[in-house]
Amino acid sequence: KRNSTEDELCRRRTLQKMNSADDELCRRRTLQKMNSADDELCRRRTLQKMNSAENEFCRRRTLQTKNSAEDELYRRRTRQKMNSAEHEIYRRRTLQKKNHKRKTTEEELRKENHRRITQQKTEE
């Protein structure tokens, strides 16, 4: 009986140790899975933040480029309008000078004609 009792006790201790070892293994695996899941979650969040930051950077750069292009377009249009206005002023001044010159020439011709007519009358 004594051997039988000792065998049973030994069997129980061995079983208990095995269960304890299984529990520890299970605990470690569970912890590992949790850590792995936490790591994955952390990795995804970090990636998401990076993507978000890159998207914001890209958005700002695109906006800056667009604004820069619009500024350049505005500058060119303004310059074009100024050139157009300056050209119009130049055209009008030139026309004014030509008209003045023509009127002066016509006036001189009229005076010359009047002088000739007057001279012819006095000669007759």
In angstroms, rounded to a whole number, what is the distance separating the alpha carbons of residues 50 and 42?
Answer: 12
In angstroms, rounded to a whole number, what is the distance separating the alpha carbons of residues 117 and 114?
Answer: 5
CA-derived radius of gyration, the chain: 53
pLDDT in tens, 54-103: 999 988 999 899 999 999 999 999 999 999 999 999 999 999 999 888 88
pLDDT in tens, 1-49: 667 888 888 888 888 888 888 888 888 888 898 888 888 988 899 989 8
Nearest to 115 by CA among 107, 103, 104: 107
Q: Which two tokens stand for residue 21?
A: 């070892």
CB atoms within 10 A of CB 39: 10
